[in-house]
Amino acid sequence: MEINEILNWRYATKKMTGAKVPQNKIDIIVKSVQLAPTSVGFQAFHLYVIEDEALRQTIFEKSCQQTQVVEGSHLLVFAARTEITDAEVDNYMNLVATTRNIPVESLNGYKGMVASFKQKTEQEYFDWTARQAYIAFSFALVAAAVENVDATPIEGFSPPVMDEILGLKEKGLKSVVLIALGYRDEANDKLAHAPKVRKPISELVTVI
């Protein structure tokens, strides 16, 4: 299938069967998150892959009353950093230097650019890191579709409650968006065969 056929196949699944997504497919979806581009390459977010049924049940009851959380087999929680630390910047520069086999001092200009994010307010920094998390979230949605795995993108949850459940505040993180992964219940999901609703390209796109 070419990419647009795959993207037409995917839809925001409302009912899932409970069948388990195999680990090799989860690994591919997680890899797509790792490979997603981020501004200055800093990857200022963290992904939680929640398979544990009891934890997903707690999330369903307390933070996100959408059945896909428990009818799927895995829940992805994208959490974005709320602060930037010197240690984080140093670790990243060391990663670049060792990966590319270059002296870390040669990265001083780059380091200054990354460190300049410390001038942002906490809200400004989180707005930026959350945007990076959303890019990775999109990659995961596409990777899931390529792997024939159904996915529901979810913003309809309580981030403060999720943060409490996962202990994110102490880690300098806030949850931003979720993806439930599983398999569509074709017989009971009324959207499984519904045509996609999209604006015409002529309205959505201007070619100049």
Ligand X SMILES: Cc1cc2nc3c(=O)[nH]c(=O)nc-3n(C[C@H](O)[C@H](O)[C@H](O)COP(=O)(O)O)c2cc1C
Q: Does residue 180 belong to the site contacting ligand X (CB under 6 A)? A: no
Residue 154 as a binder of ligand X (CB under 6 A): the answer is: yes
Coil vs helix vs strand at 100: helix
155 binds ligand X (CB under 6 A): yes
63 near ligand X, rule: CB under 6 A: no
**Cross-strand pairs, 47:** 78
Site for ligand X in 3-42 (CB under 6 A): 11-12, 14
CA-to-CA distance for 97 and 9, rounded, in angstroms?
41
- Quick count: other Cβ atoms within 10 Å of Cβ 93? 19
User: If binding is defined by CB under 6 A, does position 90 make contact with ligand X?
Assistant: no
Determine, following the binding rule CB under 6 A, whether residue 153 of this chain makes contact with ligand X. Answer: yes
Instruction: Round to whole Å and give the CA distance between 208 and 188.
Output: 44
Q: How many residues bind ligand X (CB under 6 A)?
A: 11
CB of residue 48 to ligand X, shortest distance in Å: 17
Could you tell me if 152 and 13 are in contact, meaning their C-beta atoms sit under 8 angstroms apart? Answer: yes
Distance of closest approach, residue 191 Cβ to ligand X, in angstroms = 6
Listed in sequence order, the residues at least 6 apart from 124 whose beta carbon sits closer than 8 Å to its beta carbon are none
Instruction: Work out the number of other CB atoms within 10 angstroms of the CB of residue 166.
Output: 19
Residue from 156, 169, 171, 188 touching ligand X (CB under 6 A): that is 156
- Regarding 72 and contact with ligand X (CB under 6 A), the answer is no
**Interface contacts to ligand X, rule CB under 6 A:** 11-12, 14, 66, 152-156, 177, 196
